[in-house]
Amino acid sequence: MKRTLSMMLALGLVAAPAPARVHLGGPSVSDMADAITELDLDRARTMSEEIDDGGSALALERARLSLYLGDCDAAQATLATLGGVKDAAPLAELAKNCARATAGSTVIEDASRGLWIRIQDDEDRALVPMLSEVAVSARAAIERDLGVVMPRPLRIDLVRDLFSLSGVSGLPLNAAETTGTVAVARWGRVNMISPRAAPGGFPWEDTLAHEITHLALSRGTRDHAPLWLQEGIAKRQEIRWRAPRPFDGDPSPDSIARDALLSGESVGIDKLGPSIAMLPSADAASIAFAEVSSFIDYWLRENGRPALMLLFADLKGLGGSRAPDAMKSVSGYDLEGWIARWQAYLRALPAEPAALAKEGGRDGERSTALQALLTQAMPVDARNRARKVRTGELLFDRGAVALSAERFRGVLAADPNDPVIRWRLGRSLIAGRMDDRAAPLFESSEGLESANSGWFALQGRFRRDRGLPDDKESFDFALALDPYLEDAACEGVFGIPDAAGQRSEPATAVAGSKRALCESARKIHGD
């Protein structure tokens, strides 16, 4: 009968009763701790005022509540009174580092959207409108898919570097450097590095969605979700808040996990340690993310969403130490059994054929157009590639755009699928008023080696100028990859240097909040 009721709750057929965790004699410190973990901070604040004698345990939870509220100074002040309490020392160090990192920061609150965003660098104010849109959309998708209603406000810390990320989150600096971590969900907040701090940017929108999912899972399971479940669901939710984009699922998590399994490089679903961000290398982290993503997709195909909802409920009630029992209860197999079934599934998959080399787009006409652009270009060998690219960049910055184009043309002839060189060659040709020659470089993303913000920005420019559809999708993708790249922020328009290296600032059609982002991107380039 209980399982039938749980199934009805998971399917949304009946309403779940409010949890009754407050003792008859009033709330306890453990009740307050649970409320904080579930991000029910208003209730936790009320409890903290109702508990009469909680001693040092109550003071610790009050400090933790302050950290969840983003008030590192208050947490530091509370913990200063607990100098002799052993458990207070690591929390006091975190509060001190967090207070230092957030000193002078600006908090932007949007009550109507339920957002609290703290920016360490005021130059990031221009990104806040876009960041807010992504956060709201991602949160809505997470609530829809996971059945976890997030409390308001959602708190986001946007910091300027890895030192600050470590300070506000407690993630060891060396771990962030080793694995290339740019964001972490801790202390009830999403803590993320500003895209302006990463050369070339990073997919910050999907990263934000990933970290919000972690907060939802902490709330939905009382932070008892094992790491493989946390990371697998978070990877799955990264892209479910938006329309599909080029390169989604490429390469597929299944193919990465299969290759790692067969080559002996598998990290292991049950061997992730305390955090993927603390694995020994970026390659290990990449394999781990692929493995948990592949595993969760397989498990959900076999069991369905209702089983996932049941698993959340059982984890919340049973606790993390009994996760194997919860897994077996809702699906018939424990984790070890599911790993064996998943690995058998991977081994049975056919090997993916090597990607065919492509020199153009989707049809012969595009391939011919691109080939014509590269005709008679002298291909550059690998040893000279970096030097030629740097020479092309310097020539462009000195206004010698024709010579710059020739350098990039030679580099591209050796690797026609490099999006960065296509973008740089396209810029040089546009600067030299040879837009028609540049157009074939941006007709299709098919065959490109990877996604590049500048390439998609110029694709949007050509689509817009020719009245073709989907120009907005190209511009949006460019911003999602590197919002502080001038080409992306200014919708394909960029300053063209003269012989003295002075750059123009051509007018753009960008208006409103995106205009501020365009101006901020140009300022970065000017600095």
70-106 pLDDT, tens digit each: 999 999 999 999 988 888 999 999 999 999 999 999 9
CA–CA separation, 89 and 82 (whole Å): 8
Residue of 396, 384, 350 lying closest to 525 (CA atoms): 396
Q: What is the pLDDT of residues 444-456, one digit of tens each?
A: 998 899 999 999 9
* C-alpha–C-alpha distance, residues 197 and 489, integer Å: 16
Distance, in Å, from the CA atom of 516 to the CA atom of 514, rounded to the nearest integer, reads 5
* Average pLDDT for 173-198: 92
Asked if pLDDT for residue 485 goes beyond 80, the answer is yes
**What is the pLDDT at residue 77?**
96
* Residue of 291, 249, 233, 248 lying closest to 266 (CA atoms): 291
What percentage of the chain reaches a pLDDT higher than 70?
A: 91
Q: How far apart are CA 126 and CA 40, in angstroms?
A: 30
Q: Which of 15, 32, 19 has the alpha carbon at shortest distance from 317?
A: 19
Q: What does the alpha-carbon distance between residue 48 and residue 54 come to, in Å, rounded to a whole number?
A: 9
Instruction: Tell me how far apart the alpha carbons of residues 437 and 292 are, in angstroms, rounded to a whole number.
Output: 45
- Given this model, what pLDDT does residue 513 score? 85
Q: Could you tell me which residue, 163 or 10, shows the higher pLDDT? A: 163
Q: Which amino acid is residue 349, in one-letter code? A: L
Higher pLDDT, 498 or 293: 293
pLDDT band at 291 (very low <50, low <70, confident <90, very high): very high
Of 114-128, 176-190, 493-507, minimum mean pLDDT range:
493-507
Nearest to residue 92, comparing CAs of 69, 64, 55?
Answer: 64
pLDDT confidence of residue 154:
98
Phi first, then psi, for residue 249 (nearest 5°) are: 65, 25
Question: Does residue 148 have a pLDDT over 90?
Answer: yes
The answer, yes or no, to whether residue 135 has pLDDT greater than 60, is: yes
pLDDT at position 159, please?
Answer: 97
Please calculate the CA angle 227-146-234 and round it to the nearest 5 degrees. 35
Strand order of the β-sheet with 106-110 is 106-110, 115-119, 154-159, 189-193, 183-186
Element (H, E) at 190: strand 189-193
For the chain, percent of residues with pLDDT exceeding 90: 72
Instruction: Write out pLDDT tens, residues 305-332.
Output: 999 999 999 999 888 788 888 999 999 9
Query: Do the beta carbons of residue 183 and residue 251 sit within 8 Å?
Result: no
Q: Kindly report whether the peptide bond that precedes residue 244 is cis, defined as omega within 30 degrees of 0.
A: no
**Least confident segment among 203-207, 486-490, 519-523:** 519-523
Residue 391 has pLDDT above 70, yes or no: yes
Q: What is the pLDDT of residue 488?
A: 96
Q: What is the pLDDT of residues 420-471, one digit of tens each?
A: 999 999 999 999 999 999 999 999 998 899 999 999 999 999 999 999 888 9
pLDDT band at residue 9 under the 50/70/90 scheme = very low
Per-residue pLDDT, 527: 54
**Which tokens sit at 333?**
């197999």
pLDDT confidence of residue 356: 39
Q: If you average pLDDT over residues 245-253, what whole number do you get?
A: 92
* Mean pLDDT, the chain, integer: 89
Q: What is the pLDDT of residues 208-244, one digit of tens each?
A: 999 999 999 999 999 999 999 999 999 999 999 999 9
pLDDT of 10 reads 39
Model confidence, pTM: 0.89
CB 230 within 8 A of CB 217: yes
Strand 154-159 vs strand 189-193: parallel, antiparallel, or unpaired? parallel
Per-residue pLDDT for 16 more than 80?
A: no
pLDDT at 3 over 60: no
Query: Which band of pLDDT confidence, cut at 50, 70 and 90, is reported for residue 335?
Result: very high
